[in-house]
Amino acid sequence: MPNRLTSIHRAWWIVLITFLTLISAAAFRSTTGVMLVPLETEFGWSRSLTSSAVALNLLIYGLTAPFAATLIERFSMRRVVSLALLLVSSGLLLTTVMTASWQLIVLWGLFVGFGTGCLALVFGAAVANRWFVERRGLITGIFSAGYATGSMIFLPLLTFMITNHGWRSASITVALFAAVMSPLVFLFLRDRPSDLGLLPYGATEAPELGPAAPATARGAIEVLVTSMKHPAFWVLAFTFFVCGWSTNGLIGTHFIPAAHDHGMPATTAASLLAVVGIFDLIGTIGSGWLTDKVSSMWLLVFFYGMRGLALLTIPAVLGPHVKPPLLFFIIFYGLDWIATVPPTVQLCREYFGLARSGVVYGWVFAAHMIGAAIAASFAGWIRESKGDYSIAWYTAATLCLVAAGSLFLLKKIPTLKQREELSVH
C-alpha cells in the first residue's frame, strides 16, 4: 500500500514552506500600525516622523521586489529567502536597543524593508509559476492570503504583548519567528521541480517557458524599459499603485491610530484588523479560484470599485465602539483586501508571457508599494495638519474608483504575443 505522504506531489510541500515564509514577512507588516503610538509616547516622536519610517520601509520593500526576482534567478530561491529572513530578524532585534529616530528609519526602512522585499509576493508568484501548471490562480491566492494569515495570527498577540509588556516584546517575537524560519527554508525549499527530477504539478511534459528571466540587475531594468512601452503595463502599475495606497499605506498603517483618535482602545482596533485578516484569507483564496475561471479584468473592476465605495463610509462608521456598520466595513474590506493580487499576476502572465511575468510583476508590485509609501506619509501629514484623517479616506476612495474605470482600457490592448503575431502578418 503506497504511503499517502510520499504520494503527495512535492509542489504542495513547497506551497507549505512558502506560505509559512510569507506569514513571517506579514508578521512585521502587522506590527507597524500598533507600534506608532507606543514609539511616539516613549521617544516623543511625531506622527510624521514615525509615518516616514513606515513609508521608507514600504518604498524599499517595493523597489526591492523586481530585483528580488533577479536575485532568485541568479543565486537560488532558498539562499535569497533564507538570508532575507535573517536580515528581517536582525533589523527587528536591533530596534530594541535604538535611541534615536534615524535608527528607526534605517532599521525599519533599510534592513527590514530590503528583507521583506525579497519575501514579497514576487517570491510567491515565482513559486506558483515554476511549480504549477494547473491551479496557478488558486496557488497565487493562497500565497497572497499568507499575508492575511500572518496578520490574523500575530496582530492580536502582538497588541496584547505591546499593551502588557511594551513594544520591544513584539519586535523580539517577530524576529525570533523569522530566525527560526530561515534554516527551515534553506533545508526544504527547492527552486524548480526539475531539481528533483519532477514535472510541475499538472504537467504531462516539461512546460515551454520561453526566454529565461533576467539574472542581472541590468536585465531587470531592461525588462522594465521594455514593459513601459506596452500600455498594459501602465494600467496594471497604476491600479496596483492604488491598491497599495488603499491597503498597506492607509488602512494597514493608520487604521489603529485613527481608531485611537475616535476613542477606540488599541486592542479593539487591532482585533478588527485581525478580522480583516480572517476575511482576506477567504477573499484572496476565492479570488485565486475565480481567476482560473473568470476574466481577470472584470474581477479587478469589481474589487477596486467596491473598495472605493467602502472607503467613503469610514468617517461615518468609525467610533469608540464596534457597531454593525463598522463591522460590515471590516468584513467587506477584508474580503477585498488583497483579492486584487491573483488577477493582477494573471494579467502579467497574459500580457508579458510566463517566463518574464515574474519580473514584470515585480515592477508592478514596486508601484504597489510606492503607492503605499506615499499614502503612509500623506495620511500622517494630513492627520498632523488637519487633526483627523477624513481627507486621507476620501482621497483613497477616489483613487480606487478611478482605478476601476482605467481597467476598461485593457479591452483594447493586445498582448505582446498578439502584437508579435500581427507584426509577422
**What are residue 201's DSSP bridge partners?**
132
Give the pLDDT of residue 341: 87
CA angle, 358 as apex, 356 and 360 as ends, to 5°?
A: 70
Give the pLDDT of residue 1: 41
Buried b (16+ CB within 10 A) or exposed e, 42-61: eeebebebbbbbbbbbbbbb
pLDDT in tens, 227-268: 898 899 999 999 999 999 998 889 888 888 898 888 988 788
From 238, 239, 260, select the one nearest 389 (Cα to Cα). 260
From 33, 27, 21, 26, select the one nearest 272 (Cα to Cα). 33
CA angle, 384 as apex, 381 and 390 as ends, to 5°?
A: 80
The per-residue pLDDT of the chain, averaged, comes to 84
CB of 175 within 8 A of CB of 115? no
- Per the structure block, which three cell numbers stand in for 20? 509559512
pLDDT in tens, 25-45: 777 766 777 788 889 889 998
Give the pLDDT of residue 8: 78
CB of 38 within 8 A of CB of 166? yes
pLDDT (average), residues 211-220: 68
Amino acid at 252: G
pLDDT (average), residues 203-210: 66
Give the pLDDT of residue 267: 81
Q: H helices then E strands: how many in the chain?
A: 20, 0
Give the pLDDT of residue 97: 94
Give the pLDDT of residue 2: 46
pTM to 2 decimal places:
0.75
pLDDT (average), residues 383-403: 93
Q: 207 pLDDT exceeds 70?
A: no
* Coil vs helix vs strand at 201: strand
Q: 408 pLDDT exceeds 90?
A: yes
Element (H, E) at 266: helix 266-291
pLDDT (average), residues 284-291: 87
* Coil vs helix vs strand at 132: strand
CB of 374 within 8 A of CB of 330? no
First vs last C-alpha separation in the chain = 57
For residues 147 and 19, give the distance between their C-alpha atoms in angstroms, rounded to a whole number.
Answer: 9
Q: 412 pLDDT exceeds 90?
A: no
CB of 183 within 8 A of CB of 81? no
- Per the structure block, which three cell numbers stand in for 43? 521617544
From 335, 372, 338, 367, select the one nearest 250 (Cα to Cα). 372
Give the pLDDT of residue 147: 66
Positive or negative torsion for Cα 23, 64, 355, 283: positive
Amino acid at 301: V
Amino acid at 246: S
CB of 160 within 8 A of CB of 267? yes
Q: pLDDT tier at 394 (50, 70, 90 boundaries)?
A: very high
| Residue 388 DSSP label | S
> CA dist 418 to 223, 231, 350, 408, 422, Å?
18, 14, 10, 18, 6
CA angle, 69 as apex, 404 and 412 as ends, to 5°?
A: 30
Q: pLDDT tier at 419 (50, 70, 90 boundaries)?
A: low
Rg of the Cα atoms in the chain: 21
CB of 105 within 8 A of CB of 53? yes
pLDDT (average), residues 130-155: 77
Give the pLDDT of residue 214: 65
The residues spanned by each domain of the chain are: 10-419
Q: 420 pLDDT exceeds 60?
A: no
Q: pLDDT tier at 277 (50, 70, 90 boundaries)?
A: confident
Check residues 80 and 152 and name the one with the higher pLDDT: 80
Task: Mark residue 166 as left, alpha or beta (left: phi above 0; alpha: psi -120 to 50; beta: remaining).
Answer: left
Give the pLDDT of residue 152: 65
- Per the structure block, which three cell numbers stand in for 338? 488583497
pLDDT (average), residues 277-295: 85
Positive or negative torsion for Cα 162, 257, 240, 289: positive
> CA dist 51 to 45, 169, 377, 384, Å?
10, 21, 5, 11
CB of 121 within 8 A of CB of 72? no
Give the pLDDT of residue 423: 55
> CA dist 309 to 305, 333, 400, Å?
6, 10, 8
From 88, 85, 186, 189, select the one nearest 131 (Cα to Cα). 189
pLDDT (average), residues 321-346: 87
CATH class for domain 10-419? mainly alpha
